[in-house]
Amino acid sequence: MKEISRKAFTLIEMLIVIVIIGILAAALVPRLQSVQARARDSKRKVDLRTIANANEIHRFDYGVYAKAGTCSYNVGGCYIYSTGGYNPWIPMLSGVMSSLPKDPINNLPTPFSTTGNYSYMYGNVHDGNEAYFDLYAQLENHNDPDRCAIQQYVTNKPDNTVVLCSYPAPRWLLYVVSAY
């Protein structure tokens, strides 16, 4: 009897390979998403530092920090967002930066009302001898060592009052850059 040589895979072998590939993909996808979230968080931190540095240059050139849109100086709680429709979203910084960075997701105008809203927030700008501003971003990584809840940001303002993290954690995962 003539022996038949086998040159193809059986259906069972193909199914086993597909199942193994599926298991590997299921194990890798969450890790890849985590890496992407950490990369976006890194970009957020760099962006906020860049904006803060541009604002310091603005203060050096003009004697005041950039206003938060139409907000007046020395008005607490007045903020603008990178999703607010302004281009650039901090108009007074257009002379310092050719394009102002926006959050990598930049999806909703109020970033900290719920998890999943991502944009940058700038405001609470004060001038004079006690000049300062606040700049916030929401982070995706709950374990980021720089987020507000872990750092418990405490800053002594020029008037010697102490400022704690403005938003409660762990619901909001904030990275804060404040110039005090």
Residue 1 domain-assigned? no
The burial class, CB within 10 Å (0-12 / 13-18 / 19+), for 44 is: buried
Q: Is the peptide bond before 30 cis (omega within 30 degrees of 0)?
A: no
The pLDDT assigned to 99 comes to: 86
Residues 99-132 have pLDDT tens digits of 888 888 887 766 555 567 788 888 878 777 667 7
Distances (CA, A) of 126 to 57, 64, 152: 16, 8, 22
Which pair of tokens denotes residue 66?
């950039």
Res 20: pLDDT: 93
Q: Domain for residue 6, yes or no? A: no
Residue 123 lies in a domain: yes
This prediction has a pTM of 0.71
Render pLDDT for 16-60 as a digit per residue (tens, 0 to 9).
999 999 998 888 877 777 888 889 988 988 898 888 888 889 888
DSSP state of 140: S
Domain count, the chain: 1
Q: Domain containing 106: what range?
A: 11-179
pLDDT value, residue 113: 56
Task: Name which of 126, 136, 133 is nearest 72 in CA terms.
Answer: 126
Q: What is the pLDDT of residues 73-98, one digit of tens each?
A: 877 778 888 887 777 788 888 888 88
Domain annotation covers residue 5: no
Q: Answer whether residue 61 is part of any domain.
A: yes
Those residues with Cβ within 8 angstroms of residue 30's Cβ, 6 or more apart along the chain or in another chain: none
Return d(Cα 118, Cα 106) in angstroms, integer. 5
